[in-house]
A and B are shown apart, each in its own frame.
Chain A
Amino acid sequence: MANSIQIPNNQKQVPVINPALFTVWLLIVASIMLFAAFCSAYIVHQTDGQLNNNWKEFALPLEFWLSGGIVILTSVFIEWAFQAAKKDNINILPALFTITMILALAFCLSQWFGIQEMISKGLFFRNENSDEISSSFVYVFVGVHVVHIFFGICLLFAGIFKSAKLKIHKKNLLFITICKTYWHFLGILWLYLLLFLYFAK
Chain B
Amino acid sequence: MLAVGAFMLFAAFIAFNKVYDIASPSTVVQSAAWFGVGDDKFEPVKVQTTEQTLSSNINWSIAIFVLLVVLVIANVFDISGLAARLSGKENLSGNNVNKYIMIIFLILGFIGVYWEFSHHGKYTLLRNSSSEHGVEYDSMFNVTLILTMIVFVITQALLFWFSFKYAKSPNRKAVYHAHNNKLEVFWTLIPAIVLTFLVLKGHQTWRAITYNADKSKSQNIEIFAYQFGWKARYAGADKILGAADYKYISGANPLGIAVKSEVEKLKLELDTAIMNDRKALKDLNSSLSQLRIQLELYKGLADRTNVVITDKEIARIVSGEVKDELEESIRRKSKQLERMKAIEDNKTVFATMFNNAADDDVISTEIHLIENRPVTFIFRSRDIIHSAFLPYFRVQMNVVPGMMTQFTFTPTKSTTKIRSEKNDNTFDYYLYCNKICGTSHYNMKIKVIIESESAYNTWMQSQKTAFGKEAAPMAVPVSLPSDTTQMRLDSLPVNKLQRLTSR
Do A and B actually bind? yes
A130 to B495, CA, bound (A): 11
A53 to B503, CA, bound (A): 9
Is A131 part of the binding interface, using a Cβ–Cβ cutoff of 8 Å?
yes
Contact yes or no, A54 B335, CB < 8 A:
no
8 pairs, CB–CB < 8 Å, chain A vs chain B: A52-B496, A52-B499, A53-B500, A53-B503, A54-B503, A130-B499, A130-B502, A131-B503
Mask of A146-162 contacts with B, CB within 8 angstroms, 1/0: 00000000000000000
Quote the shortest CB–CB distance from B491 to chain A (angstroms).
14
Instruction: Please give me the residue from chain A that is nearest to B503 by CB atom.
Output: A131
Contact of B335 among A53, A128, A131 (CB under 8 A): A128
Within 8 Å CB of B500, what residues of A?
A: 53
Query: Which B457-503 residues have a C-beta within 8 angstroms of A?
Result: 495-496, 499-500, 502-503
Contact yes or no, A129 B502, CB < 8 A:
yes
A39 to B285, CA, bound (A): 48
Within 8 Å CB of A130, what residues of B?
A: 499, 502
Quote the shortest CB–CB distance from B347 to chain A (angstroms).
17
Mask of A111-145 contacts with B, CB within 8 angstroms, 1/0: 00000000000000000111100000000000000
B interface residue count range (under 10 / 10 to 19 / 20 to 34 / 35 or more) = under 10
Within 8 Å CB of A52, what residues of B?
A: 495-496, 499
A130 to B496, CA, bound (A): 11
Within 8 Å CB of B495, what residues of A?
A: 52
A28 to B274, CA, bound (A): 50
In this complex, which of B495, B499, B503 has the most chain A Cβ atoms within 10 angstroms of its Cβ?
B499
Quote the shortest CB–CB distance from B343 to chain A (angstroms).
13
What's the dominant secondary structure at chain B's contact region?
A: helix
Contact yes or no, B496 A129, CB < 8 A:
no
Within 8 Å CB of B335, what residues of A?
A: 128
A131 to B499, CA, bound (A): 9
A53 to B497, CA, bound (A): 10
What's the dominant secondary structure at chain A's contact region?
A: loop
Q: Which A-B residue pairs are the 5 nearest by beta carbons? A: A54-B499, A52-B499, A52-B496, A53-B499, A53-B500
Which residues of A pack against B, CB within 8 Å? 52-54, 128-131
Within 8 Å CB of A129, what residues of B?
A: 502-503
Query: Which B294-336 residues have a C-beta within 8 angstroms of A?
Result: 335
Contacts beyond the supplied A54-B499, A54-B503, A129-B503: 13 A-B pairs with Cβ under 8 Å: A52-B495, A52-B496, A52-B499, A53-B496, A53-B499, A53-B500, A53-B503, A54-B502, A128-B335, A129-B502, A130-B499, A130-B502, A131-B503
A32 to B499, CA, bound (A): 34
Quote the shortest CB–CB distance from A45 to chain B (angstroms).
12
Quote the shortest CB–CB distance from A164 to chain B (angstroms).
48
A54 to B495, CA, bound (A): 11
Quote the shortest CB–CB distance from A121 to chain B (angstroms).
16
A129 to B331, CA, bound (A): 12
Within 8 Å CB of B499, what residues of A?
A: 52-54, 130
Quote the shortest CB–CB distance from A42 to chain B (angstroms).
18
Instruction: Please give me the residue from chain B that is nearest to A128 by CB atom.
Output: B335
Within 8 Å CB of B503, what residues of A?
A: 53-54, 129, 131
A53 to B502, CA, bound (A): 10
Instruction: Please give me the residue from chain A that is nearest to B493 by CB atom.
Output: A52
A52 to B500, CA, bound (A): 7
Instruction: Please give me the residue from chain B that is nearest to A49 by CB atom.
Output: B499
Within 8 Å CB of A128, what residues of B?
A: 335
Quote the shortest CB–CB distance from B490 to chain A (angstroms).
15
A129 to B499, CA, bound (A): 9
A129 to B496, CA, bound (A): 14
Quote the shortest CB–CB distance from A161 to chain B (angstroms).
44
A131 to B502, CA, bound (A): 9
A114 to B335, CA, bound (A): 28
A130 to B498, CA, bound (A): 10
A163 to B31, CA, bound (A): 74
A53 to B335, CA, bound (A): 19
A129 to B495, CA, bound (A): 13
Quote the shortest CB–CB distance from A46 to chain B (angstroms).
14
Quote the shortest CB–CB distance from A176 to chain B (angstroms).
48
Within 8 Å CB of A54, what residues of B?
A: 499, 502-503
Quote the shortest CB–CB distance from B500 to chain A (angstroms).
6
Instruction: Please give me the residue from chain A that is nearest to B498 by CB atom.
Output: A130
Instruction: Please give me the residue from chain A that is nearest to B496 by CB atom.
Output: A52
A106 to B496, CA, bound (A): 43
Quote the shortest CB–CB distance from B286 to chain A (angstroms).
31
Quote the shortest CB–CB distance from A29 to chain B (angstroms).
31
Within 8 Å CB of B496, what residues of A?
A: 52-53
A49 to B91, CA, bound (A): 72
A128 to B499, CA, bound (A): 13
Instruction: Please give me the residue from chain B that is nearest to A131 by CB atom.
Output: B503
Within 8 Å CB of A131, what residues of B?
A: 503
A131 to B500, CA, bound (A): 11
A54 to B499, CA, bound (A): 6
Instruction: Please give me the residue from chain B that is nearest to A129 by CB atom.
Output: B502
Within 8 Å CB of B502, what residues of A?
A: 54, 129-130
Instruction: Please give me the residue from chain B that is nearest to A51 by CB atom.
Output: B496
Quote the shortest CB–CB distance from B424 to chain A (angstroms).
46
A64 to B420, CA, bound (A): 72
Quote the shortest CB–CB distance from B331 to chain A (angstroms).
8
Instruction: Please give me the residue from chain A that is nearest to B495 by CB atom.
Output: A52
Quote the shortest CB–CB distance from A135 to chain B (angstroms).
14
A53 to B499, CA, bound (A): 7
